[in-house]
Chain A
Amino acid sequence: MKTPLEPFDFNRREFLRGGSVASLAALFGMVQTGAQDAKPAEAEKAVTATNTGVIGLGTRGREAVAVLGSLSNAQVTALCDHYPSALKRAGNTAPKAKQYADYRQLLGDAEVAAVVITTPPHQHREIAEAALAAGKHVYLEVPMAGTVEDARAIAQAARIAGKVVFQPGLQERSHPQSHFLLPFVRSGGAGRTIKARTQWHRKTSWRSNSPNPEREKELNWKLYRETSQGLVGEIGIHQMDILTWFFGQRPKSVMGFGTIQQWKDDRQTADTVQCIYEYPNDVHVSQELTLTNSFDSEYSMIYGTDAAVMMRENKAWMFKESDSPLLGWEVYARKDSFYKDLGIALVANATKIVAQGKNPAEEAPYPNPPLFYALESFLFNAHELTTATKDFIENFGGDDPKALADHLATLKLLPAPKWREGFEATVVALKANEAIESGEKITFRDEWFVV
């Protein structure tokens, strides 16, 4: 659930982990070099690499460019931002990519097969619709849009765009760790689910500085109601989507509180948020997000009758109750102590790691950021769909759509969310933000989720 570090992001856990220069710099009030400047290793490109363009080169866009560089199946061939220095900065990471100031020019570039849209959400609809209409594969950051209406329009466009992949940026849905935990939670590995809790704690202003006041306003779109869905929209959407997915059910209602506790500048969005989501079977989820205190960072907990499950970065642990049944394997599993509790490591691929003589909990099986797996899935699926369609039509013709659909159904694709998951998660997040703003409890209506 790692999201890009922001400027001035002082994160206690990062600091404790090991007196790095960056942490020290942060301690002395300097700007920390966050994820946006950390370049993952450049990967050797496979012949299957898909030509990709990135639209919107802020923090998230630059992270996407760097991650694409580390993927063997991605080739960044185009970059787009209307702000010249943002374009130039991203161009340092992808020097061979063509640079466009207007997204329409990028969409007109026939070499670009796929686009990653990382603009602020209020600009998504226009760009995403145009990209789908131009026949590009689309990876769209979440929330899918700033309004339910815009998100629905994008979902409708994605639904009818048959020949391309549309993947909303619910990055955890492609993470191998999630696919390992999902059956564990769904099969009642922790007993019957009682409640859940998610948190995301940072100490960061969320504000970027620029000598140009107009640019500063543009950079800080997250701080103003007109352009921002607040902490629940920008951050909380990921953790809530995972819980909705694991529970296999949408929430029934949401109520929330938001206040500006520390960063009393001209901002309109809360720096501290608490929400309660009500799920079926009387399960309640509490969500805590703040920009004012970094203690305990970010994680999600699912509490069951037999155990609690903690999901943290790319790892998870189970904390068993003394009266819970013995599962067997946990006797051999690695345990980590958390103050007075003992966490049993739930590690994906544990047997493979053990076979290599490594320790499952120390050796993170998936060292890459979540965006890596999400974009890997996106471009793999885009490539599979495109080549399978082409091969089929070249050999059997295009006059039998059913036979083609049957053929495409046999493709083994990597796990990825589709427009429906993206739209539903967006509706939940936007309504949660509405609940915070209005101070009213909002009961979800089925028709809001109809596309």
Chain B
Amino acid sequence: MKTLRVLLSIAIAIAIASETSAGFAEALARYQATPASKVTVNGTSTIHDWKMEGKIIGGHFDIDSNFPLDTSAGKLPDLKVNSTAEVSIPVQSIKSGTKRMDEVMLEAMKQPEFPKITYKLTELSPRTGQHKPGDPLEFVSKGELTIAGVTKPVEMSVTMEKFEGNKLKIIGSTPIKMTHHGIKPPAPNIALGLIKVGDEVKVSFEWITAQKNEAAK
């Protein structure tokens, strides 16, 4: 009897949840991740600076369908925008170009346990003030970044620009401290001696999304 009640309440909860998201879907335009994105991690070490690159950023970005994603505007609305985003990057898709360093990185990021870096957008506001027509639109974003299973809030500037009709390019970057996410900066012993990797890295991304016809309905 009790089980039935629990099941019933879960069913109701799901029904409400789907109702709610269906309600949002009318107001939000969905931009789905497409190939050709780029994520870059720039870091330092005791020997030289290093760089890793990935080409896969998955997920979707939903934004109020009435919001003018139009670079010709002289000024952006001075309001928080109704929007969500779920972003996911496979850790193993980020490459250094050398086998050994990739192995060290996957180990440090506990990849088998946490194969994805995820990000959830919680707040998006247009940057106030004048906007130069033609320039990408500027926003301040707040969200939660999960790396190696540890979630931290992150605030960063992002720009958005529509192109080729239905596509949207979202660009941003943020510094990240490995230790904040419980990652010990690697100190691999290689032929040239012991290398110590700097704690702070800069993560930059260029996320290409597209509004699909089905999703837009």
Contacts and interface: CB of A to CB of B under 8 A. Distances in A.
Q: Do A and B bind each other?
A: yes
Interface of A: 46-48, 72-73, 352, 355-356, 376, 380, 387-388, 391-392, 394-396, 400, 403, 406-407, 410, 412, 414
B35 A396 contact: yes
Contacts of A48: 92, 102-103, 106
Find the residue from B58, B59, B92, B111 having the highest chain A CB count within 10 A: B92
Nearest to B59: A395
B99 A414 contact: yes
B141 to A, nearest CB: 21
Nearest to A365: B191
A391 B54 CA distance: 11
A356 B191 contact: yes
Contact of B56 (A356, A380, A395, A412): A395
A34 to B, nearest CB: 29
Contact of A47 (B59, B112, B191): B112
Given A388-B93, A392-B35, A407-B35, A47 B56 contact: no
Interface of B: 33-35, 55-59, 88, 90, 92-93, 95, 97, 99, 102-103, 106-107, 111-112, 191-192
Nearest to A384: B95
List the 10 shortest-distance A-B pairs measured between CB atoms, nearest first.
Answer: A395-B58, A46-B103, A391-B90, A47-B106, A403-B35, A391-B93, A387-B92, A391-B56, A47-B112, A395-B56
Nearest to B104: A46
A355 B192 CA distance: 9
Given A46-B103, A392-B35, 14 more contacts: A47-B103, A47-B112, A48-B92, A48-B102, A355-B192, A376-B99, A387-B90, A387-B92, A388-B93, A392-B56, A395-B33, A396-B35, A410-B55, A412-B95
Nearest to B95: A412
Contacts of B58: 394-396
A396 B107 contact: no
A51 B103 CA distance: 16
B50 to A, nearest CB: 15
Contacts of A396: 33-35, 56, 58
A388 B102 CA distance: 14
Contacts of B34: 396
A407 B208 CA distance: 14
Contacts, number: 55
Contacts of B93: 387-388, 391
18 contacts: A46-B103, A46-B106, A46-B107, A47-B111, A48-B106, A72-B103, A73-B103, A355-B192, A387-B93, A392-B56, A395-B57, A395-B90, A396-B34, A396-B56, A396-B58, A400-B35, A403-B35, A407-B35
Contacts of A388: 93
Contact of B55 (A356, A400, A407): A407
A179 to B, nearest CB: 15
A325 to B, nearest CB: 34
Contacts of B112: 47
B103 A380 contact: no
Contacts of A400: 35
A263 to B, nearest CB: 43
A111 B102 CA distance: 23
Nearest to B106: A47
Contacts of A394: 58, 90
B103 A395 contact: no
Contacts of B55: 407, 410
B58 to A, nearest CB: 3
Nearest to B92: A387
Find the residue from A355, A387, A395, A412 having the highest chain B CB count within 10 A: A395
Contacts of B33: 395-396
A165 to B, nearest CB: 15
A403 B55 CA distance: 12
Given A48-B106, A356-B192, A406-B35, A391 B92 contact: yes
A272 B66 CA distance: 83
Nearest to B113: A47
Contacts of A391: 56, 90, 92-93
A68 B102 CA distance: 19
Contacts of A414: 99
A285 B92 CA distance: 46
B5 to A, nearest CB: 37
A343 B97 CA distance: 34
Contacts of A356: 191-192
Contacts of A355: 192
B107 A47 contact: yes
A24 to B, nearest CB: 34
A424 B214 CA distance: 50
Contacts of B111: 47
